[in-house]
Amino acid sequence: MAMLLQLTTFLQQYVYEKGHERPKAPDALRIGILSTAMINSAAIIRPALSHGGVIISAIASRDLKQAQDNAKKYGIPKAYGSYEELLDEPGIDAVYISLPNGLHGTWAKKALEAGKHVLLEKPFTANADEARQLVKLAVEKNLVLVEAFHWQFHPAAHAVKALVDSGKYGQVLRTYARMTSPTGSIPRSDIRWKYALAGGSLMDMTYVISSTRYYLNAGTPREVVEAKARASRDDLRVDEAMEATLRFDLNGRMVESKIYSDMDRANVLGVIPRVWETPSIEIELEHATIYFYNFMMPHLYHYIQIYHKRTGQTHTEKHYSGGPQWGNRGESWWSTYRYQLEAFVDKVRGREPPHWITLESSIAQMETIDAIYEKSGLGKRQPTS
C-alpha cells in the first residue's frame, strides 16, 4: 500500500501543484539532490515549484547520464556524475539526500563537512551510533540537519496531537501502529530488501515508531518487551515483517505500544491485496479511542475517528490545512512534503518553523530501531561499507 500511496502522491502533486508555480526570490535557497531516486519528484522537486524561496539547482548520480536525464526531465539546471562534485558546488546552500539507508550517514556527514544544510530521508542513519556522530557534527558546524518525517508536518498530524494532549480524554493507555505493503508490490530487486544497504521492513516502515513516539511525547522506550521478525526468504538477515511491543515510561506511568511493519503482506484468500491497509495508528485513552487512518499521506485522504467511551458515540474529523500549528499558513492542496519544505526553509533562514523534528528525537528513533532489531535476534543494521 505504501508504494501505491507514493504513486498517488505523484499524481496529486502534478494535478494540484500545476498552475501554482511561484516566481523565485533573488535570495532563494538553492538545493541540490543526492540520488535520482523515484521519491525525489514527490518529496522535493514538485513541492519546490510552489515555494518562491526554493530553487532545485542541481542533481547528482554516480551515473552522469542518469543525472542528466533527470535534470532534463525536471528542468534542473545542473547535473553531476558524482555526489562529491555536487557538494563541491559553492552555489548550493542545502542538499536533500534520498540515497539507500546505509548511505544516509556517510553522505550527510560529507554534506555537513562541505557546509551544506541537510534534509535527510528517513531512516536517519543505519543505527544510533552513526546518528549520534552525525548530530554532533551538525551541532559543531551550526548547520540545519533534519530527518524527513514529512507526515509530522501536516495539519492532520497536529490535530490528532492536540486531541491527545488536551487532557479531555484522559491519559493514554496504549497505542498500535501498522504499516504494510501487499505481497509483490515491492520488487525483490528493490534496495529495501538489501542487507548491505541497511534494508528491512522496520527501517523502511519506521513511520510506525515515529508515530508512536510522537503521540506519546516519548523518547526511547524503557523496554522492548518482545520483537518477532519474519525473515526474508532471500536473506535471513532482512526482516520482511516485524512485530514488537514497546514499553514507555511516561513520567513514571508505563504505557505499552505495539507496532507492525510488513513489506510482503499476504493477500486475503491469497488473491485480494490489502489495499485498504494504509499506515494507521490507534491511540486508546481513558475516555476515548482515536484512530488516525493514513497518517503517512494524509494529504491524499485521511480520517480521524474518535470513539467516546462514555457515550458510545463516534465522530470523525479531517484536517487538510490550518490547525493548531500552521494557523493561516498553508493550502489544502499542499502535500506533507510541501509543509515539510516550508518548515525546512524557515529553519535554514533562522525563523522558527511551526513544527520541527529535533536531532534528539532522531537519535531516540534510531535507538528504538536498534533495540527492536536486537530483541528480534537480527541485530542492528550497519552502514554500507
Nearest residue to 127 (alpha-carbon basis) of 365, 366, 376, 374: 366
Catalytic one among 109, 116, 122, 258? Answer: 122
Cα distances from 42 to residues 5, 97, 233, 362, in angstroms, run 11, 13, 31, 22
- Rounded distance between C-alpha atoms, residue 191 and residue 41, angstroms: 18
The grid cell for 261 is 511493519
Q: In what order do the strands lie in the sheet with 94-97?
A: 78-80, 54-60, 29-34, 94-97, 117-120, 145-147
The grid cell for 283 is 491511540
- Rounded distance between C-alpha atoms, residue 292 and residue 304, angstroms: 5
Q: What is the DSSP letter of 151?
A: G
Told to judge if 122 belongs to the known catalytic residues of this protein, a careful annotator would answer yes
- Rounded distance between C-alpha atoms, residue 148 and residue 151, angstroms: 9
- The answer to whether the peptide bond before residue 123 is cis (omega within 30 degrees of 0) is yes
For the annotated catalytic residues, the residue numbers are 122
